[in-house]
Structure 1
């Protein structure tokens, strides 16, 4: 299973759309790209293995593995990237502004309902992060 996150970058934050098999799962918000600086930047584009994780704060959530120069990059609920994220990715139901969204817990539940059962079967799940420009260019040739 490969999820694909197509991003658009802005100085104030990063917006994304998260797809599986070409179908929209949810939107995403992240911090802006600041050269992969820990706690203040979104993660680099690339292909990452996902792992289920549990913590008191987020309960069951998703962990991106092997992010270069980073650790504990998570997919977890948040509605404001600047106020609530430290380099992680937050699923949201709708974008409400740059780096902002709403109904994050609802989007997070939709995402984890899809991903966590697959991971529980020890089936690999990966997240491919790309620029939305790449996505929209590819759609022009369909």
Structure 2
């Protein structure tokens, strides 16, 4: 299973994506603001991922059945405040609060890692809090 462990900061959320315990990418998101559309990350939980294509993001993923939200994607972005509206962006390295680098490369690593699972059935992502860390990385 794909797991996203989050660390909640004042102005952003950072996380780490792992697949079967293996590091895939770091993530950046907007901070938790009570699941409000376009300004908050989504609630913790388990969601189904579907691969999707758009002109803007090319190949990316959409999370299905997010409570009170729609259009939640995993797509490339290097600055949560400027480029995200509740979505999740994979990044190769965290460079600051809500910032990272080489997001398109990180999304490609994720896409490649998930491809065998996509053809054999549903892909699920479990989003949880990283309680073993104190917010520093």
> In which range does the TM-score fall when normalised by the shorter chain?
over 0.9
Deviations 1:67-123 (A, max 9, x none): 00000100000000000000000000010011110111111110011224432x251
- Give unmatched runs, 5+ long, in structure 2: none
Aligned pair 1:40/2:58, yes or no? no
1:15 matched to which residue of 2?
A: 14
How far apart, in 2, do the equivalents of 1:17 and 1:32 lie?
15
Q: Which runs of 4+ in 1 moved over 2 A?
A: none
Separation in structure 2 between the aligned mates of residue 116 and residue 55 of structure 1, nearest angstrom: 18
User: 128, 131, 142: which one pairs with 2:129?
Assistant: 131
Contact 1:52–1:116 at 8 Å: present in 2 too? no
| C-alpha separation in 1, matches of 2:22 and 2:120 | 23
User: What is the alpha-carbon distance in structure 2 between the residues aligned to residue 117 and residue 56 of structure 1?
Assistant: 24
Q: TM-score, structure 2 length as denominator?
A: 0.93
- Partner Cα distance (1:118, 1:14) in 2: 27
Q: Which residue of 2 aligns with 1:140?
A: none
Secondary structure, counterpart of 1:7 in structure 2: strand
CA RMSD after TM alignment: 1.2
The whole-number CA distance in structure 1 between the counterparts of 2:37 and 2:88 is 13
Give the Cα–Cα distance (whole angstroms) in 2 for the partners of residues 53 and 118 of structure 1.
15
Q: 2: distance between equivalents of 1:116 and 1:12?
A: 33
Matched, 1:101 2:119: no
1:1-142 alignment runs, 5 A limit: 2-119=1-118, 121-133=119-131, 136=132
How many residue pairs get matched? 133
